[in-house]
A and B are shown apart, each in its own frame.
Chain A
Amino acid sequence: MKLTTITAAVLLTAGAALAGEVAPKDVAFNGGAIEASLTGAPGDAAAGAKIMTTRSLGNCIACHEVTALKDAPFHGEVGPSLDGTGSRWSEAELRGIVVNAKMTFEGTVMPAFYKVDGFNRAGDGYTGKAAPADFPPILTAQQIEDVVAFLVTLKD
Chain B
Amino acid sequence: MTKLTSIRTLAALAVAGSIAFGGVAQADENAELVVNGEITLVTKTAAPDHLKDAMDTIYSGWVFRSDETQAMQADDFTNPGILDAEAGVELWNAVDGTEGKSCASCHGAIEEGMKGVRAVYPKWNEAAGEVRTMEMQVNDCRKTRMGAEPYKYVSGQMGRIVSAISMQSRGEPVNVAIDGKAAETWAKGKELYYTRTGILDLSCASCHEENYGNMIRADHLSQGQINGFPVYRLNNAKINQVHDRFKGCVRDTRAETYNPGSPEFIALELYLASRGNGLSVEGVSLRN
Contacts and interface: CB of A to CB of B under 8 A. Distances in A.
A78 B218 CA distance: 12
- Judged by DSSP, the binding face of B is loop
Nearest to A63: B216
B-side interface size class: 20 to 34
A119 B256 CA distance: 11
Interface in B167-204: 195-202
Interface stretch (A44-52, A69-77, A147-155): A69-77
B192 to A, nearest CB: 11
A107 to B, nearest CB: 10
B216 A78 contact: yes
A123 B215 CA distance: 24
Contacts of A70: 19-21
Given A76-B216, A77-B7, A123-B254, 13 more contacts: A62-B216, A65-B21, A67-B19, A70-B21, A73-B22, A74-B22, A74-B215, A109-B207, A111-B201, A119-B201, A122-B255, A123-B257, A126-B252
B199 A122 contact: yes
A122 B211 contact: no
Given A73-B23, A123-B251, A109 B256 contact: no
B254 A122 contact: yes
B199 A131 contact: yes
Chain A contact surface mostly: loop
Interface string A124-143: 11111111000100100000
Interface in A39-62: 55, 59, 61-62
A128 B217 contact: no
Contacts of B221: 78
A75 B21 contact: yes
Contacts of A119: 197-199, 201
Contacts of A131: 199, 256
B195 A120 contact: yes
A121 interface: yes
A59 B255 CA distance: 17
A62 to B, nearest CB: 4
Nearest to B205: A109
A22 interface: no
Contact of B199 (A55, A61, A123): A123
Nearest to A138: B199
Contact of A76 (B195, B197, B215): B215
Contacts of B23: 73-74
A136 to B, nearest CB: 10
